[in-house]
Structure 1
Amino acid sequence: MDVHAPPPPEDPGLVVRDLAVNYGPVTALRGISLSVPRGSIVAVLGGNGAGKSTLLRAVSGTLRFHRGGITAGEIVFGRTRLSGAAASAVVARGVVQVPEGRRVFARMTVEENLRAGALGARDRRAAAGARERVHTLFPVLAERARQRAGLLSGGEQQMLAIGRALMARPAMLLLDEPTLGLAPMMAARIAETVREINAQGTTVLLVEQNAAMALSLASQAYVLEVGEVVLSGPAADLARSDEVRRRYLGIEDDRATSPAGASAGRPALTRWSA
């Protein structure tokens, strides 16, 4: 080993550069650039139709299942190009998506769903370790291992969907609206689990309409509108932004329209009209 050799460059995590996506003649994303450093949680906010799910599909290689395609730009994870790769190849490289709506295999048991997440794994010991991790995070899945997944509550199905993804031992987890349709208490439990998964070393790209929850978890955040990034920065700064507070957190503040309020430490979003 050459002791004088320079250290290897830091792994940049996920990098998306100038991404454009079309569904036939319809442009869904244009000029999207973002980064998700290794070990971080990065949130993507936006209303319905903003392009959030399309972004995750582009990263996970599942666009073709929705008759979409990347028309420009690139996606790189750990210095490996993902744009254009098949979904199975993306999973093999450590990036796994939990789709919106959970989509568990309803007629299969909880245990069968988890085994499906580990398909292709050759190391039985690693698969057993992944299952133990899932059962530690979600004890209810161990208790209901032989129950059909379709009989679980919505929150339990979301746990199963996340657990199934973790069976692939991902380096990066793509979460698409993990708290959608859940009661506040269950949504809070899912949020805490996401935090714990990240603390264990898994990078997370989180698409979420519950902006308050997403910003409390993330270190960085991006806001999409009509297929474009209109704002990005530290999550704490976005949480203090008047437009984000009004549009996504439901907080009205008279200072939002006053010069004094604008200078009180909250960034103004110049591309949005008041």
Structure 2
Amino acid sequence: MDAHDPRPPDDFGLSVKDLAVGYGPVAALRGISLRVPRGSIVTVLGGNGAGKSTLLRAISGTLGFHRGGVTAGEIRFDGARLSGTAASAVVAAGVVQVPEGRRVFARMTVEENLRAGALGARDRRAAAEARERVLTLFPVLAERARQRAGLLSGGEQQMLAIGRALMARPRMLLLDEPTLGLAPMMAARIADTVREINEQGTTVLLVEQNAAAALSLASSAYVLEVGEVVLSGPAAELARSDEVRRRYLGVEDGEPAGPAPGNDRRAVPASPRPNLARWSA
């Protein structure tokens, strides 16, 4: 997918063009352009400090909470400008972020956390439908409804964080490291749920350090390094790249990549493996 596709932005769910972000005098993102088509899963890969979380904060309008700000470029969702708007307006537009580290309200119950996700909803019937959807996706949350969120396991807290975001009935979900710190089996369950949420019609922009899982879920991928996009393209093509395999999949040249967690049918193919000119020696 070409970030400079000539089609107008409103042909896409999300369009980011020439975005620059700074934290005071420190430039965190430079010239970022990407597009996330409606109904797709797009992933952003990169090491620690690459700017992945900053990108999601810029989209969700939460940079100000971290003393950052957009210094150039624009962000649009379904043709409407998001850059420069308040976080509440971004949510109202249908874009909701699940932050890294889950960040549930630990002293509140599971049920109270879910209700907090629907605070802006005026339609009680829609809120009830959203709750039913969440509990269908995550039945354990129904069992733990009266339990304090801080007493849940890490995987259950991640389910609650995603469920709370879904209570706002987003058209687009921003996921920041949803499998971070989880056991492999739980990480696989979260990945399967992300796929199911997308199949139900929600567009997903996924930031994930588990590159194998992310590339197996996504249709397209972008790679960030030190605040810049160094590579973008179809996820399957990036998964076959020698450079991506070495840097993010831990696979040496000539070795087959193992299957992504919870997704044995879509193991990353071993060949052909294109070289990435941007990273050539």
Q: What TM-score does the superposition give when structure 1 sets the normalisation length?
A: 0.92
Q: Distance in 2 between matches of 1:15 and 1:251?
A: 32
User: Which AA in structure 2 matches 1:37?
Assistant: P
Q: Distance in 2 between matches of 1:197 and 1:120?
A: 21
Matches within 5 A, 1:58-207: 58-207=58-207
User: Which AA in structure 2 matches 1:42?
Assistant: V
Q: CA RMSD in A?
A: 1.4
Question: Residue 56 of structure 2 corresponds to which residue in structure 1?
Answer: 56
Residue 182 of structure 1 and its aligned partner are, at CA, apart by: 0.1
Q: Distance in 1 between matches of 2:74 and 2:24?
A: 19
Question: Residue 223 of structure 1 corresponds to which residue in structure 2?
Answer: 223
Question: Residue 272 of structure 1 corresponds to which residue in structure 2?
Answer: 279
Compared with structure 1, are the counterparts of its residues 145 and 26 closer, same or farther at alpha carbon in structure 2 (3 Å cutoff)?
same
User: Which AA in structure 2 matches 1:186?
Assistant: M
Q: What is the DSSP-based 3-state SS (H/G/I as helix, E as strand, rest coil) of the residue aligned with 2:238? A: helix
Question: Residue 249 of structure 1 corresponds to which residue in structure 2?
Answer: 249
Residue 267 of structure 1 and its aligned partner are, at CA, apart by: 2.1
Q: Distance in 1 between matches of 2:156 and 2:233?
A: 33
Q: Distance in 2 between matches of 1:87 and 1:39?
A: 22
Q: What is the DSSP-based 3-state SS (H/G/I as helix, E as strand, rest coil) of the residue aligned with 1:248? A: helix
User: Which AA in structure 1 matches 2:272?
Assistant: G
Q: What TM-score does the superposition give when structure 2 sets the normalisation length?
A: 0.90
Question: Residue 27 of structure 2 corresponds to which residue in structure 1?
Answer: 27
Name segments (4+ residues, structure 1) moved above 6 Å.
none
Aligned residues with identical type, % of pairs: 88
Compared with structure 1, are the counterparts of its residues 90 and 183 closer, same or farther at alpha carbon in structure 2 (3 Å cutoff)?
same
Residue 253 of structure 1 and its aligned partner are, at CA, apart by: 1.1
Residue 254 of structure 1 and its aligned partner are, at CA, apart by: 4.7
Q: Distance in 2 between matches of 1:239 and 1:71?
A: 33
Q: What is the DSSP-based 3-state SS (H/G/I as helix, E as strand, rest coil) of the residue aligned with 1:116? A: helix
Spell out, residue by residue over 1:141-189, the C-alpha distance to the aligned partner (whole angstroms, 9 max, x if none). 0011000000000000000000000000000000000000000000000
Question: Residue 258 of structure 1 corresponds to which residue in structure 2?
Answer: none
Q: Distance in 1 between matches of 2:124 and 2:169?
A: 12
Q: What is the DSSP-based 3-state SS (H/G/I as helix, E as strand, rest coil) of the residue aligned with 2:174? A: strand
Contiguous gaps of at least 5 residues in structure 2: 1-8, 256-270
Q: Distance in 2 between matches of 1:234 and 1:197?
A: 21
Q: Distance in 1 between matches of 2:24 and 2:225?
A: 20
Q: Distance in 2 between matches of 1:267 and 1:222?
A: 16
Q: Distance in 1 between matches of 2:116 and 2:230?
A: 38
User: Which AA in structure 2 matches 1:152?
Assistant: L
Report the number of matched residues.
Answer: 259
Q: Distance in 2 between matches of 1:10 and 1:62?
A: 23
Q: What is the DSSP-based 3-state SS (H/G/I as helix, E as strand, rest coil) of the residue aligned with 1:106? A: coil
Q: Distance in 2 between matches of 1:13 and 1:193?
A: 21
User: Which AA in structure 2 matches 1:271?
Assistant: R
Please say if residues 45 and 52 of structure 2, whose CA atoms lie closer than 8 Å, have aligned partners that are also in contact: yes
